[in-house]
Structure 1
Amino acid sequence: MRGVAVAEFRVDPLVWGQGPRQLEVFLEPTCPYSAKAFGKLEQLLAELGEDRLTVKIRLHSQPWHMFSPVIVRAIYAAASLPAGKAAARQVMQAVYEHREEFEFEQHATGPNRDATPNDLIRRIEGYTGLKLMAAFDEPQLDKSTRWDARYARQNGIHVSPSFMIDGIVQADMSSGDEVSVWVKRLG
């Protein structure tokens, strides 16, 4: 139609800071070790400074976390909302804080076996106050999930959390490290 502007669909990149050093963190949204790493990122940025460091979160779905693909898509759906990456961060925080509601016991059993993707989305909406259903249905979200999956494979990332500094995989970097160790490494 002439004269009618169509809004372009956009998923806000999960990037914080704008410094020359780049830390890419590959996180799975229900992994307890990813939760530990995620919980340290704000402090890391505060200590190093957003003018010195750029942190990029790459979502890394793993098959033994059975609901992982649904939650990854919900995070990208949140990132497509007007609040963008802040909404995505809110979803990640909610899932990490209530992990037992988004994961099977022993990766295979428990009450979540009866949960549907819609149940999970409603749980996330309840914890965050975000409306995700319509955004979750957007077919273009596939681009984000596929891009992160390809990028991880191309860089030899197989587990979460994994870390890259300035494009180099850091096999000896861990979610168990203190923030001060990361600061020293990136400083």
Structure 2
Amino acid sequence: MIYASHTVGREVQVEIELWLDYICPYSRKLFDCVYSQVIPEVEAQYPGRVSWTFNHQVQPWHPQGAILHEYAIAVGIESPERFWQFSKALFDESPRFYDEAVVDKSRNDLLSALGEIAGRVCIDHSRILQSVNIMPGTPANRGPLTIAHLKHYVKLGRQNGIHVSPTAVTNGLVDSSISSSWTTREWVTHIEGLLDN
């Protein structure tokens, strides 16, 4: 499952994939700039010529991150038109999920907190729970319904050598020049250099 912002108009010439972790403050910084400023400006200047894809980069040293990404994947399946908006809301509140803030929280506590955030962007938490709940019973270690999607991102990231968050991929190649500290102007200048004018 890929969450690209589909655009209309001329053929897409630049494809940018963002590998992001909801628990990573640098991912948050990059996402905030791209979502709030870069995408609107690029789309206004070059409509339909740049696509953006959000890829889930779960970092195992923040184990609660898997739950956040599972929930976001379920949002992408259930309400794909709200995925980017939900991601913005989740990044805005990500400090609520940092290690120190969740040390005493259970999986169900985290899902409840995610439900509050989902409700603010008009996502039905009860429908998402059907995909992310782990049902009690005979131990089978199956995980939630979204686990196959999460495994896909982990395998894809490993296969493509994605190790850190955030990582940007431009037209299929890891682009190590892109930084979470980039300004809107730096992003736009970089993209302009990739476009056929």
- The alignment's TM-score, normalised by the length of structure 1, stands at 0.82
Match of 1:186 in 2: 191
Q: In structure 2, what residue type is equivalent to 1:46? A: P
Q: In structure 2, what residue type is equivalent to 1:73? A: E
Q: Deviations over 1:7-28 (max 9, x none)?
A: xxxx6x3111342210000000
User: Which residues of 2 match residues 104-123 of structure 1 at below 5 A?
Assistant: 104-105=99-100, 111-123=101-113
1:46 aligns with 2:36: no
1:172 aligns with 2:177: yes
1:92 aligns with 2:87: yes
Q: Deviations over 1:25-76 (max 9, x none)?
A: 0000111110111112232222222401000010100012221111110001
User: Which residues of 2 match residues 5-44 of structure 1 at below 5 A?
Assistant: 13-18=2-7, 19-42=12-35, 43-44=37-38
CA contact (8 A) 2:131 2:145 kept: no
Match of 2:63 in 1: 66
Once residues 38 and 85 of structure 1 are traced to their aligned partners in structure 2, the CA distance between those partners, rounded to angstroms, is: 17
Q: In structure 2, what residue type is equivalent to 1:35? A: R
SS state at 2:22 partner: coil
Aligned positions, number: 169
Percent identical residues: 24
Match of 2:114 in 1: 124
1:143 aligns with 2:148: yes
Q: Deviations over 1:100-139 (max 9, x none)?
A: 221213xxxxx52110111111111112213121121395
1:134 aligns with 2:123: no
Deviation at 1:89, TM superposition (A): 2.5
CA contact (8 A) 1:14 1:85 kept: no
More helix by share: 2
Once residues 45 and 93 of structure 1 are traced to their aligned partners in structure 2, the CA distance between those partners, rounded to angstroms, is: 13
CA contact (8 A) 1:80 1:135 kept: no
- The alignment's TM-score, normalised by the length of structure 2, stands at 0.78
SS state at 1:22 partner: strand
Stretches of structure 2 that go unaligned for 5 or more consecutive residues are 135-143, 193-197
User: Which residues of 2 match residues 142-161 of structure 1 at below 5 A?
Assistant: 142-161=147-166
Off by >6 Å, runs of 4+ in structure 1: none
1:56 aligns with 2:53: yes
